[in-house]
Amino acid sequence: MRISGKELSLKLKAELKEKVALLKKEAGRAPQLTVILVGNNPASVSYVTGKAKACEAVGIDNRTIRLDASTEEASLLGLIADLNADETVDGILVQLPLPPHIDENRVIDAIAKEKDVDGFHPLNVAALWQHRPCTVPCTPKGIIKLLKEAGEDIAGKRAVVVGRSNIVGLPVAKLLLDENATVTIAHSRTRNLGEVTREADILVVAVGRPGTITADMVKPGAVVIDVGVNRNSTTGKLCGDVDTEAVEAVARCITPVPGGVGPMTIACLMENTVEAFEAKLPR
């Protein structure tokens, strides 16, 4: 069985649309998301376009600021400072990766934590790891929603996360732990990866390498979440990190690529933007 992130994202966006309409009445304006794109990395351009479309579908005011790849770090930091001070801006997202001459950490640190709809600011990350109120990063948040949609009772299960990135691996491991899974994080230096992944009732794969998980590495009946977005070098088609067709025969369910995690990341970005707006309302 395939878990459709596309369908679930449509459901979430429909709910958010209703909520935004109510909030607009209450506050006199809609939530606002500003996305900054530096340069024109094709994958980033496509993500940013998807985010703008989702904002329109939900009724979130949005603006994409496109900057030249040669933009200096200081001017990007200046722009972020202006957006932080602008009360009509509720969410700020700087699309990553940034050109190599810009220090990503300095940029993330510059975003006001209340407007950090990615949940990448160190204060949001620390808050997540300490059970404090925070912005939950979009992809991990979407993954938990997908697992629940698949009817997975996470508590007590063995979860294996392959990949240890700041954006996906580490935060999704923490969210799975918060759902009372027993969590293992595997990575490029893990010995005998298949031995580890075969233990998983819930397998989350986020490494960015096609064919990382083959059918023999999956426990029969497992739920498999494929976070990878890769382009097949021969067909040019998008593919994940998992051999979807072979693994589908072994797993209870699996997320497809495209149409799995990707649309949920965007829907959760919409949710985070609405939450950032709501947090500002006098109630």
Residues in the site for ligand GUN, rule: CB under 6 A? Answer: 93-96, 118, 138-139, 167, 265
Q: Which is nearer to ligand GUN, 140 or 218 (CB)?
A: 140
Instruction: Give the whole-angstrom CA distance, residue 13 versus residue 58.
Output: 6
**Residues near 151 by Cβ (< 8 Å), separated by ≥ 6?**
none
Instruction: Give the whole-angstrom CA distance, residue 154 versus residue 124.
Output: 24
Name the one residue in this structure whose structure tokens are 């005011």: 61
Asked if 51 is an active-site residue, the reply is yes
Q: Report helix, strand or coil for 270.
A: helix
Asked if 118 is an active-site residue, the reply is yes
- Smallest distance from ligand GUN to CB 168, Å: 8
Catalytic-role residue among 90, 118, 201, 241: 118
Catalytic-role residue among 13, 19, 51, 141: 51
Instruction: Give the whole-angstrom CA distance, residue 106 versus residue 128.
Output: 20
H or E, element range at 67: strand 61-67
Name the one residue in this structure whose structure tokens are 């050109």: 99
Residue nearest to ligand GUN (CB): 96
Instruction: Give the whole-angstrom CA distance, residue 15 versus residue 222.
Output: 30
Q: Which is nearer to ligand GUN, 31 or 251 (CB)?
A: 31
- Smallest distance from ligand GUN to CB 97, Å: 7
- Smallest distance from ligand GUN to CB 211, Å: 21
Q: Which is nearer to ligand GUN, 124 or 265 (CB)?
A: 265
- Smallest distance from ligand GUN to CB 165, Å: 9
Q: Which is nearer to ligand GUN, 97 or 194 (CB)?
A: 97
Asked if 95 is an active-site residue, the reply is yes
Here the tokens at position 9 are: 């994202």
Which positions are annotated as active-site residues?
51, 95, 118
